[in-house]
Protein backbone atom coordinates (compact mmCIF):
# COMPACT_ATOMS: atom_id res chain seq x y z
CA UNK A 1 0.00 0.00 0.00
CA UNK A 2 1.45 3.38 -0.98
CA UNK A 3 1.38 6.43 1.26
CA UNK A 4 -1.20 8.07 -1.01
CA UNK A 5 -3.53 5.06 -1.13
CA UNK A 6 -5.92 6.54 1.46
CA UNK A 7 -6.58 9.39 -0.99
CA UNK A 8 -7.17 7.29 -4.11
CA UNK A 9 -10.66 8.84 -4.26
CA UNK A 10 -8.90 12.01 -5.48
CA UNK A 11 -7.66 10.24 -8.61
CA UNK A 12 -8.43 12.22 -11.78
CA UNK A 13 -9.62 15.21 -9.73
CA UNK A 14 -8.22 18.63 -10.59
CA UNK A 15 -6.58 20.82 -7.94
CA UNK A 16 -4.79 24.16 -7.83
CA UNK A 17 -2.10 24.68 -5.17
CA UNK A 18 -0.78 28.20 -4.59
CA UNK A 19 2.74 28.15 -3.19
CA UNK A 20 3.36 24.68 -4.53
CA UNK A 21 7.13 24.75 -4.97
CA UNK A 22 8.30 24.52 -1.34
CA UNK A 23 7.34 23.60 2.19
CA UNK A 24 3.79 22.50 2.88
CA UNK A 25 2.61 23.50 -0.61
CA UNK A 26 5.15 21.22 -2.26
CA UNK A 27 4.19 18.36 0.05
CA UNK A 28 0.53 18.89 -0.87
CA UNK A 29 1.36 18.73 -4.57
CA UNK A 30 3.35 15.52 -4.10
CA UNK A 31 0.58 13.89 -2.05
CA UNK A 32 -2.14 14.81 -4.55
CA UNK A 33 -0.09 13.72 -7.56
CA UNK A 34 0.68 10.47 -5.73
CA UNK A 35 -3.06 9.96 -5.34
CA UNK A 36 -3.54 10.26 -9.09
CA UNK A 37 -4.89 13.80 -9.13
CA UNK A 38 -4.11 16.44 -11.74
CA UNK A 39 -2.33 19.29 -9.96
CA UNK A 40 -1.52 22.83 -11.05
CA UNK A 41 1.07 24.56 -8.88
CA UNK A 42 1.09 28.37 -8.77
CA UNK A 43 4.27 30.05 -7.60
CA UNK A 44 6.69 32.78 -8.59
CA UNK A 45 9.50 30.24 -8.14
CA UNK A 46 10.14 27.31 -10.41
CA UNK A 47 9.99 23.93 -8.63
CA UNK A 48 13.31 22.18 -8.07
CA UNK A 49 11.54 18.88 -8.76
CA UNK A 50 8.27 19.23 -10.70
CA UNK A 51 5.21 17.64 -9.12
CA UNK A 52 2.28 18.21 -11.44
CA UNK A 53 2.00 21.12 -13.84
CA UNK A 54 3.61 24.41 -12.79
CA UNK A 55 2.32 27.86 -13.73
CA UNK A 56 4.59 30.81 -12.95
CA UNK A 57 2.34 33.23 -11.11
CA UNK A 58 2.45 36.06 -8.59
CA UNK A 59 -0.64 35.54 -6.42
CA UNK A 60 -0.63 39.18 -5.37
CA UNK A 61 -1.41 40.03 -9.02
CA UNK A 62 -5.00 39.44 -10.10
CA UNK A 63 -3.83 39.72 -13.71
CA UNK A 64 -1.39 36.84 -13.22
CA UNK A 65 -4.09 34.78 -11.51
CA UNK A 66 -6.64 35.46 -14.24
CA UNK A 67 -4.15 34.24 -16.83
CA UNK A 68 -3.38 31.17 -14.70
CA UNK A 69 -7.07 30.33 -14.36
CA UNK A 70 -7.46 30.55 -18.12
CA UNK A 71 -4.45 28.24 -18.53
CA UNK A 72 -6.04 25.60 -16.29
CA UNK A 73 -9.06 25.72 -18.60
CA UNK A 74 -11.11 23.04 -16.85
CA UNK A 75 -13.42 22.65 -13.86
CA UNK A 76 -11.53 22.50 -10.56
CA UNK A 77 -12.29 20.25 -7.61
CA UNK A 78 -10.28 22.13 -5.03
CA UNK A 79 -7.95 25.03 -4.30
CA UNK A 80 -5.21 25.04 -1.67
CA UNK A 81 -3.61 28.29 -0.56
CA UNK A 82 -0.21 27.39 0.90
CA UNK A 83 1.84 30.38 -0.26
CA UNK A 84 3.38 32.50 2.43
CA UNK A 85 6.37 34.48 3.64
CA UNK A 86 7.86 34.63 7.12
CA UNK A 87 8.03 37.25 9.85
CA UNK A 88 11.50 38.19 8.60
CA UNK A 89 9.97 39.93 5.56
CA UNK A 90 8.68 43.48 5.20
CA UNK A 91 5.33 43.82 7.05
CA UNK A 92 3.46 45.03 3.97
CA UNK A 93 4.82 42.15 1.91
CA UNK A 94 3.77 39.69 4.62
CA UNK A 95 0.20 40.98 4.57
CA UNK A 96 0.18 41.15 0.79
CA UNK A 97 1.30 37.55 0.24
CA UNK A 98 -0.15 35.77 3.28
CA UNK A 99 -3.57 37.43 3.21
CA UNK A 100 -4.25 39.42 0.05
CA UNK A 101 -2.70 36.73 -2.14
CA UNK A 102 -4.90 34.02 -0.64
CA UNK A 103 -7.97 36.24 -1.01
CA UNK A 104 -7.07 36.86 -4.66
CA UNK A 105 -6.73 33.14 -5.38
CA UNK A 106 -10.12 32.42 -3.79
CA UNK A 107 -11.80 35.22 -5.72
CA UNK A 108 -10.31 34.46 -9.14
CA UNK A 109 -10.71 30.67 -9.02
CA UNK A 110 -14.12 30.51 -7.34
CA UNK A 111 -16.03 30.68 -10.66
CA UNK A 112 -14.08 27.64 -11.93
CA UNK A 113 -14.91 25.41 -8.95
CA UNK A 114 -17.08 22.36 -9.40
CA UNK A 115 -20.06 21.83 -7.14
CA UNK A 116 -18.91 20.23 -3.85
CA UNK A 117 -15.37 21.54 -4.37
CA UNK A 118 -13.29 22.72 -1.43
CA UNK A 119 -11.05 25.67 -0.66
CA UNK A 120 -8.30 24.98 1.90
CA UNK A 121 -6.38 27.95 3.29
CA UNK A 122 -3.19 27.11 5.17
CA UNK A 123 -3.01 29.47 8.12
CA UNK A 124 -0.88 28.85 11.22
CA UNK A 125 -1.19 28.08 14.89
CA UNK A 126 0.27 31.57 15.29
CA UNK A 127 -3.25 32.77 14.45
CA UNK A 128 -5.01 30.68 17.11
CA UNK A 129 -5.96 33.75 19.16
CA UNK A 130 -8.01 35.26 16.30
CA UNK A 131 -11.32 34.98 18.17
CA UNK A 132 -10.22 37.33 20.91
CA UNK A 133 -9.17 39.88 18.29
CA UNK A 134 -12.20 39.55 16.03
CA UNK A 135 -13.28 43.19 16.42
CA UNK A 136 -9.82 44.42 15.38
CA UNK A 137 -9.72 42.03 12.43
CA UNK A 138 -13.21 43.11 11.36
CA UNK A 139 -12.13 46.76 11.55
CA UNK A 140 -9.13 45.97 9.36
CA UNK A 141 -11.29 44.33 6.69
CA UNK A 142 -13.75 47.24 6.72
CA UNK A 143 -10.90 49.57 5.75
CA UNK A 144 -8.97 47.22 3.48
CA UNK A 145 -8.18 48.21 -0.08
CA UNK A 146 -5.13 46.88 -1.89
CA UNK A 147 -3.90 50.44 -2.50
CA UNK A 148 -4.06 51.43 1.17
CA UNK A 149 -2.47 48.29 2.62
CA UNK A 150 0.81 50.07 3.58
CA UNK A 151 -1.25 52.71 5.40
CA UNK A 152 -3.16 50.04 7.33
CA UNK A 153 0.06 48.24 8.22
CA UNK A 154 1.29 51.49 9.82
CA UNK A 155 -2.07 52.24 11.44
CA UNK A 156 -2.23 48.82 13.08
CA UNK A 157 1.42 49.16 14.15
CA UNK A 158 2.69 46.01 12.49
CA UNK A 159 6.30 44.97 12.53
CA UNK A 160 7.29 41.68 10.87
CA UNK A 161 6.23 39.51 13.80
CA UNK A 162 2.88 41.25 14.29
CA UNK A 163 2.17 41.26 10.56
CA UNK A 164 2.78 37.51 10.34
CA UNK A 165 0.50 36.74 13.27
CA UNK A 166 -2.18 39.17 12.08
CA UNK A 167 -2.07 37.79 8.52
CA UNK A 168 -2.81 34.30 9.86
CA UNK A 169 -5.53 35.50 12.25
CA UNK A 170 -7.14 37.44 9.41
CA UNK A 171 -6.89 34.46 7.05
CA UNK A 172 -8.78 32.25 9.52
CA UNK A 173 -11.44 34.95 9.91
CA UNK A 174 -11.69 35.45 6.13
CA UNK A 175 -12.02 31.70 5.54
CA UNK A 176 -14.95 31.43 7.92
CA UNK A 177 -16.74 34.26 6.14
CA UNK A 178 -15.89 32.66 2.79
CA UNK A 179 -17.46 29.38 3.91
CA UNK A 180 -20.64 31.23 4.79
CA UNK A 181 -20.87 33.06 1.46
CA UNK A 182 -19.95 30.02 -0.65
CA UNK A 183 -22.36 27.62 1.07
CA UNK A 184 -25.12 28.49 -1.41
CA UNK A 185 -22.77 27.39 -4.20
CA UNK A 186 -22.10 24.04 -2.48
CA UNK A 187 -18.46 25.03 -2.02
CA UNK A 188 -16.70 24.24 1.27
CA UNK A 189 -14.00 26.45 2.77
CA UNK A 190 -11.85 25.76 5.79
CA UNK A 191 -8.46 26.68 7.17
CA UNK A 192 -5.72 24.46 8.52
CA UNK A 193 -3.36 25.82 11.16
CA UNK A 194 -0.11 23.86 11.42
CA UNK A 195 2.20 24.17 14.38
CA UNK A 196 5.97 24.20 14.00
CA UNK A 197 6.73 22.41 10.74
CA UNK A 198 10.01 21.53 9.05
CA UNK A 199 9.88 24.07 6.22
CA UNK A 200 12.32 26.78 5.05
CA UNK A 201 10.39 29.32 7.20
CA UNK A 202 10.89 27.40 10.47
CA UNK A 203 14.05 29.25 11.66
CA UNK A 204 12.40 32.65 11.14
CA UNK A 205 9.25 31.51 12.92
CA UNK A 206 11.22 30.27 15.91
CA UNK A 207 13.09 33.58 16.14
CA UNK A 208 9.80 35.46 16.23
CA UNK A 209 8.42 33.49 19.19
CA UNK A 210 8.97 34.14 22.87
CA UNK A 211 11.88 31.92 24.03
CA UNK A 212 9.69 30.61 26.88
CA UNK A 213 7.14 29.39 24.34
CA UNK A 214 9.84 27.65 22.30
CA UNK A 215 11.18 26.00 25.45
CA UNK A 216 7.74 24.72 26.44
CA UNK A 217 6.84 23.57 22.95
CA UNK A 218 10.12 21.68 22.69
CA UNK A 219 9.52 20.05 26.05
CA UNK A 220 5.97 19.06 25.08
CA UNK A 221 6.95 17.54 21.73
CA UNK A 222 10.37 16.22 22.78
CA UNK A 223 11.92 18.70 20.35
CA UNK A 224 10.12 17.33 17.32
CA UNK A 225 8.34 19.36 14.65
CA UNK A 226 5.89 18.23 11.99
CA UNK A 227 6.98 16.85 8.65
CA UNK A 228 5.29 18.82 5.81
CA UNK A 229 3.86 15.53 4.53
CA UNK A 230 1.92 15.14 7.78
CA UNK A 231 0.22 18.48 7.16
CA UNK A 232 -0.30 17.57 3.51
CA UNK A 233 -2.17 14.43 4.54
CA UNK A 234 -4.65 16.55 6.52
CA UNK A 235 -5.08 18.87 3.54
CA UNK A 236 -5.67 15.91 1.22
CA UNK A 237 -8.26 14.44 3.57
CA UNK A 238 -10.04 17.80 3.77
CA UNK A 239 -10.29 17.80 -0.04
CA UNK A 240 -12.04 14.42 -0.14
CA UNK A 241 -15.77 13.86 0.08
CA UNK A 242 -15.09 11.94 3.30
CA UNK A 243 -14.68 15.43 4.77
CA UNK A 244 -17.87 16.79 3.21
CA UNK A 245 -19.17 17.98 6.60
CA UNK A 246 -15.99 19.88 7.40
CA UNK A 247 -16.83 23.46 6.54
CA UNK A 248 -16.12 26.86 8.04
CA UNK A 249 -13.73 25.49 10.65
CA UNK A 250 -10.08 25.95 11.49
CA UNK A 251 -8.25 22.66 12.00
CA UNK A 252 -5.33 23.02 14.41
CA UNK A 253 -2.67 20.51 13.35
CA UNK A 254 0.12 20.95 15.88
CA UNK A 255 0.39 17.64 17.72
CA UNK A 256 -1.41 19.18 20.69
CA UNK A 257 1.13 21.96 21.19
CA UNK A 258 -1.66 24.53 21.67
CA UNK A 259 -2.35 22.83 25.00
CA UNK A 260 0.93 24.27 26.28
CA UNK A 261 -0.62 27.75 26.21
CA UNK A 262 -4.18 26.76 27.08
CA UNK A 263 -3.13 25.06 30.30
CA UNK A 264 -0.15 27.25 31.17
CA UNK A 265 -0.06 28.51 34.76
CA UNK A 266 1.76 31.71 33.94
CA UNK A 267 1.90 34.25 31.17
CA UNK A 268 4.53 33.52 28.51
CA UNK A 269 3.61 36.52 26.32
Question: For the segment 180-206, what is each residue's pLDDT rounded down to a tens digit?
Answer: 999 999 999 999 999 999 999 998 888
d(CA 18, CA 80): 6
User: Which of the four pLDDT bands, split at 50, 70 and 90, describes residue 141?
Assistant: very high
Q: What is the pLDDT of residue 209?
A: 73
d(CA 85, CA 95): 9
Q: What is the pLDDT of residue 223?
A: 76
Contact between 169 and 133 (Cβ < 8 Å)? yes
d(CA 109, CA 128): 27
Q: What is the pLDDT of residue 264?
A: 64
Give the residue-averaged pLDDT of 59-88. 96
User: Which of the four pLDDT bands, split at 50, 70 and 90, describes residue 49?
Assistant: confident
Q: What is the pLDDT of residue 265?
A: 56
- Provide the percentage of residues in the chain whose pLDDT is more than 90: 80
pLDDT above 70 for 2: no
Q: What is the pLDDT of residue 48?
A: 78
Contact between 190 and 129 (Cβ < 8 Å)? no
Contact between 247 and 190 (Cβ < 8 Å)? yes
Q: Which of 3-12, 13-22, 164-173, 185-194 has the lowest mean pLDDT?
A: 3-12
Q: What is the pLDDT of residue 3?
A: 45
pLDDT above 80 for 222: no
Higher pLDDT, 264 or 58: 58
Tell me the chain's radius of gyration from C-alpha atoms.
18
Give the residue-averaged pLDDT of 39-48. 92
Q: How far is CA 260 from CA 103, 141, 228, 237, 252, in A?
A: 31, 31, 22, 26, 13
Domains and CATH numbers, the chain: 5-262 (3.40.50.720)
Q: What is the pLDDT of residue 1?
A: 37
d(CA 20, CA 29): 6
Higher pLDDT, 129 or 213: 129
d(CA 197, CA 204): 12
Give the residue-averaged pLDDT of 241-253. 97
Q: What are phi and psi of 16, to 5 degrees?
A: -115, 130
- CB count, 10 Å around CB of 75? 12
Contact between 231 and 201 (Cβ < 8 Å)? no
Give the residue-averaged pLDDT of 6-16. 94
pLDDT above 80 for 262: no
Contact between 120 and 81 (Cβ < 8 Å)? yes
Which pLDDT tens digit goes with each residue over 81-136? 999 999 999 999 999 999 999 999 999 999 999 999 999 999 999 999 999 999 99
Q: What is the pLDDT of residue 210?
A: 73
Q: What is the mean pLDDT of the chain?
A: 92
Residues 58, 64, 66, 70, CA torsion sign: negative
Amino acid sequence: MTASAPFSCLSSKVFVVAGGTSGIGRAVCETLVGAGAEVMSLDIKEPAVPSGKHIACDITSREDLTAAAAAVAKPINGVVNAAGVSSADDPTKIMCVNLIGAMNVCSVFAPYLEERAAIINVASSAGNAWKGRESIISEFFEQLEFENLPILVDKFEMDGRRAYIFSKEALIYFTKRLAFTQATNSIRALSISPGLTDTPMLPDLKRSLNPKIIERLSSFSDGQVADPREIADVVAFALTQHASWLNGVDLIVDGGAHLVLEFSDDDVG
